[in-house]
Structure 1
Protein backbone atom coordinates (compact mmCIF):
# COMPACT_ATOMS: atom_id res chain seq x y z
CA UNK A 1 0.00 0.00 0.00
CA UNK A 2 1.38 3.40 -0.98
CA UNK A 3 2.01 6.06 1.61
CA UNK A 4 -1.19 7.92 2.40
CA UNK A 5 -3.38 5.36 0.62
CA UNK A 6 -4.77 4.05 3.92
CA UNK A 7 -5.82 7.52 5.02
CA UNK A 8 -7.43 8.17 1.66
CA UNK A 9 -9.42 4.94 1.96
CA UNK A 10 -10.53 5.88 5.48
CA UNK A 11 -11.86 9.20 4.23
CA UNK A 12 -14.24 7.30 1.96
CA UNK A 13 -15.69 5.35 4.84
CA UNK A 14 -19.02 6.42 6.24
CA UNK A 15 -19.40 7.41 9.89
CA UNK A 16 -21.35 4.17 10.29
CA UNK A 17 -18.43 2.02 9.13
CA UNK A 18 -15.95 3.94 11.25
CA UNK A 19 -18.18 3.31 14.26
CA UNK A 20 -18.31 -0.44 13.60
CA UNK A 21 -14.51 -0.51 13.38
CA UNK A 22 -14.22 1.26 16.71
CA UNK A 23 -16.76 -1.04 18.37
CA UNK A 24 -14.96 -4.11 17.06
CA UNK A 25 -12.05 -3.15 19.32
CA UNK A 26 -14.24 -3.45 22.44
CA UNK A 27 -13.70 -6.71 24.28
CA UNK A 28 -17.01 -8.66 24.03
CA UNK A 29 -16.07 -10.64 27.16
CA UNK A 30 -15.92 -7.50 29.28
CA UNK A 31 -18.69 -7.72 31.87
CA UNK A 32 -18.81 -4.04 32.78
CA UNK A 33 -19.83 -1.53 30.12
CA UNK A 34 -16.87 0.66 29.23
CA UNK A 35 -17.49 4.36 29.78
CA UNK A 36 -15.38 5.20 26.74
CA UNK A 37 -17.30 2.80 24.51
CA UNK A 38 -20.57 4.25 25.78
CA UNK A 39 -19.39 7.79 25.05
CA UNK A 40 -18.19 6.73 21.59
CA UNK A 41 -21.62 5.38 20.70
CA UNK A 42 -23.28 8.51 22.09
CA UNK A 43 -21.09 10.64 19.82
CA UNK A 44 -22.13 8.50 16.86
CA UNK A 45 -25.76 9.42 17.59
CA UNK A 46 -24.73 13.08 17.38
CA UNK A 47 -23.18 12.48 13.97
CA UNK A 48 -26.40 10.85 12.73
CA UNK A 49 -28.47 13.76 14.04
CA UNK A 50 -26.14 16.21 12.33
CA UNK A 51 -26.98 14.52 9.03
CA UNK A 52 -30.70 15.02 9.70
CA UNK A 53 -30.03 18.71 10.22
CA UNK A 54 -31.22 21.57 12.47
CA UNK A 55 -34.66 20.03 13.04
CA UNK A 56 -33.02 17.70 15.59
CA UNK A 57 -31.24 20.56 17.38
CA UNK A 58 -33.14 20.14 20.67
CA UNK A 59 -32.23 16.46 20.94
CA UNK A 60 -28.68 17.14 19.82
CA UNK A 61 -28.16 19.77 22.51
CA UNK A 62 -29.48 17.42 25.20
CA UNK A 63 -27.16 14.63 24.07
CA UNK A 64 -24.17 16.98 23.89
CA UNK A 65 -24.74 18.24 27.44
CA UNK A 66 -25.09 14.71 28.76
CA UNK A 67 -21.95 13.56 26.97
CA UNK A 68 -19.99 16.47 28.43
CA UNK A 69 -21.28 15.66 31.92
CA UNK A 70 -20.16 12.03 31.71
CA UNK A 71 -16.86 12.96 30.05
CA UNK A 72 -16.06 15.45 32.80
CA UNK A 73 -16.58 12.83 35.50
CA UNK A 74 -14.62 10.20 33.58
CA UNK A 75 -11.66 12.51 32.97
CA UNK A 76 -11.55 13.45 36.66
CA UNK A 77 -10.44 9.85 37.36
CA UNK A 78 -10.38 7.48 34.33
CA UNK A 79 -9.51 4.50 36.52
CA UNK A 80 -12.27 5.06 39.06
CA UNK A 81 -14.91 5.74 36.39
CA UNK A 82 -13.79 3.28 33.72
CA UNK A 83 -17.23 1.62 33.55
CA UNK A 84 -20.84 2.78 33.79
CA UNK A 85 -21.46 0.67 36.88
CA UNK A 86 -18.71 2.64 38.64
CA UNK A 87 -20.55 5.88 37.88
CA UNK A 88 -23.89 4.54 39.10
CA UNK A 89 -22.35 3.16 42.28
CA UNK A 90 -20.67 6.48 43.00
CA UNK A 91 -23.98 8.36 42.84
CA UNK A 92 -26.20 5.67 44.30
CA UNK A 93 -26.42 7.46 47.62
CA UNK A 94 -28.43 10.69 47.45
CA UNK A 95 -27.37 12.50 44.27
CA UNK A 96 -28.50 9.93 41.72
CA UNK A 97 -31.72 11.75 40.75
CA UNK A 98 -30.42 15.33 40.75
CA UNK A 99 -30.63 17.14 37.43
CA UNK A 100 -26.85 17.56 37.22
CA UNK A 101 -26.05 13.94 38.09
CA UNK A 102 -24.04 11.82 35.68
CA UNK A 103 -26.41 8.96 36.38
CA UNK A 104 -29.28 10.93 34.89
CA UNK A 105 -27.05 11.73 31.91
CA UNK A 106 -26.40 8.00 31.44
CA UNK A 107 -30.15 7.31 31.50
CA UNK A 108 -30.91 9.83 28.76
CA UNK A 109 -27.87 8.91 26.67
CA UNK A 110 -29.03 5.29 26.76
CA UNK A 111 -32.44 6.32 25.45
CA UNK A 112 -30.82 8.50 22.80
CA UNK A 113 -28.66 5.57 21.65
CA UNK A 114 -31.83 3.49 21.54
CA UNK A 115 -33.39 6.19 19.35
CA UNK A 116 -30.41 6.08 16.99
CA UNK A 117 -30.38 2.28 16.78
CA UNK A 118 -34.14 2.16 16.16
CA UNK A 119 -33.92 4.86 13.48
CA UNK A 120 -31.08 3.19 11.59
CA UNK A 121 -32.75 -0.21 11.88
CA UNK A 122 -36.00 1.19 10.49
CA UNK A 123 -34.21 2.75 7.52
CA UNK A 124 -32.36 -0.49 6.78
CA UNK A 125 -35.40 -2.77 7.08
CA UNK A 126 -38.00 -0.57 5.38
CA UNK A 127 -36.62 1.20 2.29
CA UNK A 128 -40.08 2.49 1.42
CA UNK A 129 -40.49 4.58 4.59
CA UNK A 130 -39.77 8.29 4.57
CA UNK A 131 -37.23 9.78 6.97
CA UNK A 132 -40.10 11.56 8.74
CA UNK A 133 -41.84 8.23 9.33
CA UNK A 134 -38.64 6.58 10.55
CA UNK A 135 -37.83 9.42 12.96
CA UNK A 136 -41.42 9.51 14.23
CA UNK A 137 -41.47 5.77 14.92
CA UNK A 138 -38.05 5.81 16.58
CA UNK A 139 -39.05 8.73 18.79
CA UNK A 140 -42.39 7.15 19.71
CA UNK A 141 -40.74 3.88 20.78
CA UNK A 142 -37.72 5.25 22.65
CA UNK A 143 -37.94 8.84 23.90
CA UNK A 144 -41.57 9.90 23.87
CA UNK A 145 -42.69 7.70 26.82
CA UNK A 146 -40.27 9.57 29.07
CA UNK A 147 -40.77 13.12 27.80
CA UNK A 148 -43.06 15.74 29.24
CA UNK A 149 -45.57 17.54 27.04
CA UNK A 150 -43.20 20.43 26.25
CA UNK A 151 -40.50 18.15 24.82
CA UNK A 152 -43.09 16.08 22.97
CA UNK A 153 -44.57 19.21 21.39
CA UNK A 154 -41.10 20.37 20.29
CA UNK A 155 -40.40 17.07 18.55
CA UNK A 156 -43.79 17.12 16.85
CA UNK A 157 -42.78 20.39 15.20
CA UNK A 158 -39.29 19.09 14.40
CA UNK A 159 -40.71 16.09 12.55
CA UNK A 160 -42.17 18.38 9.91
CA UNK A 161 -38.74 19.82 9.15
CA UNK A 162 -36.66 16.69 8.53
CA UNK A 163 -35.15 16.37 5.02
CA UNK A 164 -36.09 13.81 2.37
CA UNK A 165 -34.87 10.27 2.97
CA UNK A 166 -32.65 10.36 -0.13
CA UNK A 167 -30.83 13.45 1.11
CA UNK A 168 -30.22 11.88 4.53
CA UNK A 169 -28.97 8.62 3.02
CA UNK A 170 -26.58 10.45 0.70
CA UNK A 171 -25.14 12.32 3.70
CA UNK A 172 -24.70 9.08 5.66
CA UNK A 173 -22.75 7.46 2.84
CA UNK A 174 -19.04 8.03 2.68
CA UNK A 175 -17.42 9.35 -0.47
CA UNK A 176 -17.53 6.69 -3.15
CA UNK A 177 -19.73 4.33 -1.11
CA UNK A 178 -22.88 2.86 -2.64
CA UNK A 179 -26.23 2.29 -0.93
CA UNK A 180 -25.75 -1.47 -0.75
CA UNK A 181 -22.53 -1.04 1.23
CA UNK A 182 -24.20 1.47 3.54
CA UNK A 183 -27.06 -0.96 4.27
CA UNK A 184 -24.54 -3.66 5.19
CA UNK A 185 -22.72 -1.22 7.48
CA UNK A 186 -25.97 -0.20 9.18
CA UNK A 187 -27.00 -3.84 9.69
CA UNK A 188 -23.61 -4.65 11.20
CA UNK A 189 -23.66 -1.61 13.47
CA UNK A 190 -27.17 -2.27 14.77
CA UNK A 191 -26.20 -5.88 15.46
CA UNK A 192 -23.15 -4.73 17.42
CA UNK A 193 -24.99 -2.00 19.33
CA UNK A 194 -27.99 -4.00 20.49
CA UNK A 195 -26.11 -6.13 23.08
CA UNK A 196 -24.49 -3.01 24.56
CA UNK A 197 -27.88 -1.33 24.70
CA UNK A 198 -29.50 -4.36 26.34
CA UNK A 199 -26.75 -4.55 28.96
CA UNK A 200 -27.10 -0.84 29.74
CA UNK A 201 -30.87 -1.14 30.21
CA UNK A 202 -30.29 -4.12 32.50
CA UNK A 203 -27.92 -1.99 34.55
CA UNK A 204 -30.47 0.83 34.76
CA UNK A 205 -33.14 -1.59 35.93
CA UNK A 206 -30.78 -2.86 38.61
CA UNK A 207 -30.62 0.66 40.04
CA UNK A 208 -34.34 1.29 39.37
CA UNK A 209 -33.60 4.07 36.91
CA UNK A 210 -35.29 2.69 33.82
CA UNK A 211 -38.59 4.45 34.60
CA UNK A 212 -37.06 7.88 35.25
CA UNK A 213 -38.96 10.65 33.42
CA UNK A 214 -38.11 14.21 32.53
CA UNK A 215 -39.50 16.94 34.76
Structure 2
Protein backbone atom coordinates (compact mmCIF):
# COMPACT_ATOMS: atom_id res chain seq x y z
CA UNK A 1 0.00 0.00 0.00
CA UNK A 2 2.82 2.40 0.89
CA UNK A 3 4.54 1.72 -2.45
CA UNK A 4 1.27 2.40 -4.28
CA UNK A 5 0.83 5.72 -2.43
CA UNK A 6 4.41 6.69 -3.28
CA UNK A 7 3.83 5.95 -6.96
CA UNK A 8 0.61 7.96 -6.96
CA UNK A 9 2.53 11.00 -5.68
CA UNK A 10 4.96 10.89 -8.59
CA UNK A 11 4.44 12.26 -12.07
CA UNK A 12 4.82 10.00 -15.12
CA UNK A 13 7.96 12.01 -15.89
CA UNK A 14 9.51 11.08 -12.53
CA UNK A 15 8.54 7.42 -12.96
CA UNK A 16 10.14 7.40 -16.42
CA UNK A 17 13.34 8.88 -14.96
CA UNK A 18 13.44 6.08 -12.40
CA UNK A 19 12.97 3.42 -15.10
CA UNK A 20 15.80 4.91 -17.14
CA UNK A 21 18.08 5.16 -14.13
CA UNK A 22 17.67 1.39 -13.76
CA UNK A 23 18.79 0.94 -17.36
CA UNK A 24 21.82 3.14 -16.77
CA UNK A 25 22.77 1.14 -13.66
CA UNK A 26 22.57 -2.06 -15.69
CA UNK A 27 25.06 -0.76 -18.22
CA UNK A 28 28.31 -1.43 -16.27
CA UNK A 29 27.36 -5.09 -16.01
CA UNK A 30 27.43 -5.35 -19.80
CA UNK A 31 30.79 -6.29 -21.29
CA UNK A 32 32.51 -3.26 -22.79
CA UNK A 33 32.73 -4.80 -26.24
CA UNK A 34 28.95 -5.45 -26.22
CA UNK A 35 27.79 -2.22 -24.64
CA UNK A 36 26.76 -0.71 -27.97
CA UNK A 37 24.64 -3.79 -28.73
CA UNK A 38 22.55 -4.00 -25.57
CA UNK A 39 18.92 -2.90 -25.15
CA UNK A 40 17.60 -3.91 -21.72
CA UNK A 41 14.08 -5.16 -22.41
CA UNK A 42 12.39 -4.53 -19.07
CA UNK A 43 13.36 -0.85 -18.57
CA UNK A 44 12.67 -0.05 -22.23
CA UNK A 45 9.20 -1.63 -22.24
CA UNK A 46 8.35 -0.04 -18.87
CA UNK A 47 9.32 3.33 -20.35
CA UNK A 48 7.05 2.70 -23.34
CA UNK A 49 4.18 1.81 -21.00
CA UNK A 50 4.65 5.14 -19.21
CA UNK A 51 4.48 6.88 -22.58
CA UNK A 52 1.03 5.34 -23.00
CA UNK A 53 -0.02 7.24 -19.87
CA UNK A 54 1.34 10.47 -21.35
CA UNK A 55 -0.63 9.85 -24.54
CA UNK A 56 -3.76 9.31 -22.44
CA UNK A 57 -3.25 12.77 -20.95
CA UNK A 58 -3.19 14.32 -24.42
CA UNK A 59 -6.55 12.70 -24.92
CA UNK A 60 -8.50 10.58 -27.45
CA UNK A 61 -6.91 12.50 -30.32
CA UNK A 62 -3.82 10.29 -29.90
CA UNK A 63 -5.84 7.06 -30.03
CA UNK A 64 -4.21 5.91 -33.28
CA UNK A 65 -0.71 6.30 -31.90
CA UNK A 66 -1.72 4.82 -28.55
CA UNK A 67 -3.11 1.69 -30.19
CA UNK A 68 0.09 1.20 -32.19
CA UNK A 69 2.24 1.63 -29.07
CA UNK A 70 0.09 -0.80 -27.07
CA UNK A 71 0.24 -3.47 -29.77
CA UNK A 72 3.99 -3.12 -30.20
CA UNK A 73 4.60 -3.34 -26.45
CA UNK A 74 2.46 -6.47 -26.25
CA UNK A 75 4.32 -8.06 -29.17
CA UNK A 76 7.69 -7.54 -27.50
CA UNK A 77 6.40 -8.55 -24.07
CA UNK A 78 5.13 -11.85 -25.48
CA UNK A 79 8.52 -12.50 -27.04
CA UNK A 80 10.36 -11.70 -23.80
CA UNK A 81 8.05 -13.94 -21.78
CA UNK A 82 8.61 -16.80 -24.23
CA UNK A 83 12.33 -16.89 -23.36
CA UNK A 84 13.32 -14.41 -20.62
CA UNK A 85 16.95 -15.55 -20.55
CA UNK A 86 17.49 -14.88 -24.26
CA UNK A 87 15.38 -11.79 -24.73
CA UNK A 88 16.27 -9.74 -21.66
CA UNK A 89 18.46 -8.05 -24.28
CA UNK A 90 16.29 -7.02 -27.25
CA UNK A 91 19.31 -7.12 -29.55
CA UNK A 92 19.05 -10.92 -29.41
CA UNK A 93 15.61 -10.58 -30.98
CA UNK A 94 17.01 -8.34 -33.74
CA UNK A 95 19.79 -10.84 -34.36
CA UNK A 96 17.42 -13.83 -34.57
CA UNK A 97 14.97 -12.15 -36.95
CA UNK A 98 17.84 -10.91 -39.12
CA UNK A 99 19.15 -14.48 -39.40
CA UNK A 100 15.64 -15.84 -40.07
CA UNK A 101 14.95 -13.19 -42.72
CA UNK A 102 11.77 -12.07 -40.91
CA UNK A 103 12.89 -8.70 -39.54
CA UNK A 104 11.17 -6.62 -42.23
CA UNK A 105 7.83 -8.45 -42.09
CA UNK A 106 4.77 -6.51 -40.98
CA UNK A 107 4.31 -8.47 -37.75
CA UNK A 108 7.98 -8.75 -36.78
CA UNK A 109 9.29 -7.82 -33.36
CA UNK A 110 12.06 -5.85 -35.07
CA UNK A 111 9.43 -3.62 -36.66
CA UNK A 112 7.69 -3.25 -33.27
CA UNK A 113 10.97 -2.08 -31.71
CA UNK A 114 11.55 0.41 -34.54
CA UNK A 115 8.16 2.04 -34.07
CA UNK A 116 8.37 2.08 -30.28
CA UNK A 117 11.73 3.82 -30.57
CA UNK A 118 10.24 6.42 -32.91
CA UNK A 119 7.42 7.02 -30.44
CA UNK A 120 10.00 7.63 -27.71
CA UNK A 121 11.72 10.03 -30.15
CA UNK A 122 8.44 11.92 -30.54
CA UNK A 123 7.88 12.04 -26.78
CA UNK A 124 11.40 13.31 -26.06
CA UNK A 125 11.16 16.10 -28.63
CA UNK A 126 7.62 17.05 -27.52
CA UNK A 127 8.63 17.28 -23.86
CA UNK A 128 11.74 19.27 -24.72
CA UNK A 129 9.63 21.71 -26.75
CA UNK A 130 7.20 22.01 -23.84
CA UNK A 131 10.01 22.83 -21.41
CA UNK A 132 11.69 25.28 -23.79
CA UNK A 133 8.58 27.18 -24.89
CA UNK A 134 5.49 26.48 -22.76
CA UNK A 135 3.69 29.36 -24.44
CA UNK A 136 3.67 27.57 -27.78
CA UNK A 137 0.38 25.91 -28.73
CA UNK A 138 0.06 22.16 -28.33
CA UNK A 139 -0.82 21.87 -32.01
CA UNK A 140 2.47 23.55 -32.96
CA UNK A 141 4.49 21.47 -30.51
CA UNK A 142 3.00 18.14 -31.54
CA UNK A 143 3.18 18.98 -35.25
CA UNK A 144 6.83 20.07 -34.99
CA UNK A 145 7.74 17.00 -32.92
CA UNK A 146 5.91 14.69 -35.29
CA UNK A 147 7.52 16.27 -38.37
CA UNK A 148 11.08 15.60 -37.21
CA UNK A 149 10.51 12.12 -35.75
CA UNK A 150 7.71 9.95 -37.17
CA UNK A 151 6.44 11.79 -40.25
CA UNK A 152 9.39 10.83 -42.52
CA UNK A 153 8.47 7.16 -42.00
CA UNK A 154 4.71 7.48 -42.46
CA UNK A 155 2.93 6.91 -45.72
CA UNK A 156 -0.12 8.84 -46.87
CA UNK A 157 -2.65 6.90 -44.76
CA UNK A 158 -0.77 7.28 -41.46
CA UNK A 159 0.16 10.91 -42.10
CA UNK A 160 -3.48 11.79 -42.83
CA UNK A 161 -4.62 10.21 -39.54
CA UNK A 162 -2.13 12.34 -37.62
CA UNK A 163 -3.13 15.54 -39.40
CA UNK A 164 -6.71 14.96 -38.25
CA UNK A 165 -5.52 14.28 -34.68
CA UNK A 166 -3.69 17.61 -34.52
CA UNK A 167 -6.99 19.48 -34.64
CA UNK A 168 -8.26 17.97 -31.38
CA UNK A 169 -5.41 18.63 -28.95
CA UNK A 170 -5.76 20.25 -25.50
CA UNK A 171 -4.04 23.58 -24.89
CA UNK A 172 -0.46 23.49 -23.58
CA UNK A 173 -1.40 24.81 -20.11
CA UNK A 174 -3.95 22.05 -19.63
CA UNK A 175 -1.43 19.46 -20.76
CA UNK A 176 1.23 20.76 -18.36
CA UNK A 177 -1.22 20.65 -15.47
CA UNK A 178 -2.03 17.05 -16.34
CA UNK A 179 1.67 16.15 -16.32
CA UNK A 180 2.29 17.59 -12.86
CA UNK A 181 2.17 15.48 -9.74
CA UNK A 182 0.12 16.71 -6.79
CA UNK A 183 1.75 19.82 -5.33
CA UNK A 184 4.18 20.19 -8.22
CA UNK A 185 4.75 23.44 -10.13
CA UNK A 186 6.02 24.15 -13.62
CA UNK A 187 9.60 24.84 -12.51
CA UNK A 188 9.97 21.43 -10.89
CA UNK A 189 8.18 19.79 -13.85
CA UNK A 190 10.60 21.52 -16.21
CA UNK A 191 13.56 20.22 -14.20
CA UNK A 192 12.15 16.69 -14.38
CA UNK A 193 11.62 17.00 -18.13
CA UNK A 194 15.21 18.14 -18.64
CA UNK A 195 16.47 15.22 -16.55
CA UNK A 196 14.33 12.75 -18.49
CA UNK A 197 15.47 14.11 -21.86
CA UNK A 198 19.11 13.93 -20.73
CA UNK A 199 18.57 10.20 -20.09
CA UNK A 200 16.57 9.61 -23.27
CA UNK A 201 18.84 11.19 -25.88
CA UNK A 202 21.92 8.97 -25.45
CA UNK A 203 19.67 5.90 -25.07
CA UNK A 204 17.86 6.73 -28.31
CA UNK A 205 21.12 7.41 -30.10
CA UNK A 206 22.38 3.95 -29.09
CA UNK A 207 19.16 2.22 -30.12
CA UNK A 208 19.06 3.96 -33.51
CA UNK A 209 22.66 2.91 -34.10
CA UNK A 210 21.76 -0.70 -33.31
CA UNK A 211 18.67 -0.60 -35.56
CA UNK A 212 20.82 0.75 -38.38
CA UNK A 213 23.36 -2.05 -37.92
CA UNK A 214 20.53 -4.55 -38.49
CA UNK A 215 19.20 -2.60 -41.51
CA UNK A 216 15.74 -1.97 -40.03
CA UNK A 217 16.12 1.73 -39.23
CA UNK A 218 14.39 2.90 -42.43
CA UNK A 219 11.25 0.76 -42.28
CA UNK A 220 8.10 2.67 -43.26
CA UNK A 221 4.36 2.31 -42.71
CA UNK A 222 1.61 2.61 -45.37
With the shorter chain as reference, the TM-score category is over 0.9
Does the Cα contact within 8 Å between 2:125 and 2:145 map onto a contact in 1? yes
Deviation beyond 3 Å, 4+ runs, structure 1: 6-10
Aligned to 2:84: 78
Does the Cα contact within 8 Å between 2:103 and 2:216 map onto a contact in 1? no
- Alpha-carbon displacement from aligned partner over 1:42-97 (angstroms, at most 9, x marks no partner): 11221111110000000000010000000000000111111121010111121111
CA distance in 2, matches of 1:208, 1:101: 14
1:214 partnered with 2:221: yes
Any unmatched runs of 5+ in structure 2? none
TM-score (norm. length: structure 2): 0.91
Aligned to 2:145: 138
Aligned to 1:63: 69
Aligned to 2:122: 115
Does the Cα contact within 8 Å between 2:19 and 2:47 map onto a contact in 1? no
SS in 1 for 2:174: helix
CA distance in 1, matches of 2:88, 2:18: 21
Aligned to 1:15: 12
Per the TM alignment, residue 22 of structure 1 is displaced from its structure 2 partner at its CA by 2.2
Per the TM alignment, residue 113 of structure 1 is displaced from its structure 2 partner at its CA by 0.6
Higher helix share goes to which structure? 2
Equivalent of 2:186 in 168, 179, 183: 179
Per the TM alignment, residue 132 of structure 1 is displaced from its structure 2 partner at its CA by 1.0
TM-score (norm. length: structure 1): 0.94
- Alpha-carbon displacement from aligned partner over 1:6-57 (angstroms, at most 9, x marks no partner): 7645422111011112221222434211011211121122111111000000
Aligned CA RMSD, in angstroms, stands at 1.5
CA distance in 2, matches of 1:136, 1:9: 34
Aligned to 1:157: 164
